[in-house]
Structure 1
């Protein structure tokens, strides 16, 4: 019983720490889009398309961590 609770607690802490990465990644992605649009406004459409693709990739990794959290607990 004690081991089970410790395992669930560690899984929760692990997912919490793993969620920091995608949060920072999404911030960096859209910060780069804003910076790129400020430097070259005519490239905004292309930058937004690339940003959404990378956003989906980062969020897919975050969801994978979420699923692994539930499998571990």
Structure 2
């Protein structure tokens, strides 16, 4: 019985660590992606001001796609944290 509890605790601890890493790296990637994209938008807007409306629409679409990847990662992380498929019964106690 004690080995089962030890294994359960090990799975829960590994899941928490993995979820933290997953959400942290996704936030880091989204932040860097948005920062680089915004910088390039400002550079191109300063070079050709007449293209700002076209570039702005494309920038917002791309920003939404970058944020969507982060939101999906958070959703998968929360799924693993609260309804872990690695535990017997599928629900964390």
Relative to the length of structure 2, the TM-score reads 0.72
Rg bigger for which structure? 2
Map 1:23-62 to 2 at 5 A.
23-62=31-70
CA RMSD of aligned residues (A): 1.1
Quote the offset at 1:12 in angstroms. 0.9
CA distance in structure 2 between the aligned counterparts of 1:2 and 1:40, rounded to whole angstroms: 56
The answer for unaligned runs of 5 or more in structure 1 is none
Quote the offset at 1:48 in angstroms. 0.5
Post-superposition CA distance 1:32-70 (Å, at most 9, x none): 110001100111111101000000000011000000110
CA distance in structure 2 between the aligned counterparts of 1:2 and 1:61, rounded to whole angstroms: 29
Task: Give aligned pairs, total.
Answer: 73
Match of 1:64 in 2: 72
**Structure with higher helix content:** 1
The answer for unaligned runs of 5 or more in structure 2 is 1-8, 82-93
Quote the offset at 1:15 in angstroms. 1.4
Relative to the length of structure 1, the TM-score reads 0.90
CA distance in structure 1 between the aligned counterparts of 2:37 and 2:23, rounded to whole angstroms: 21
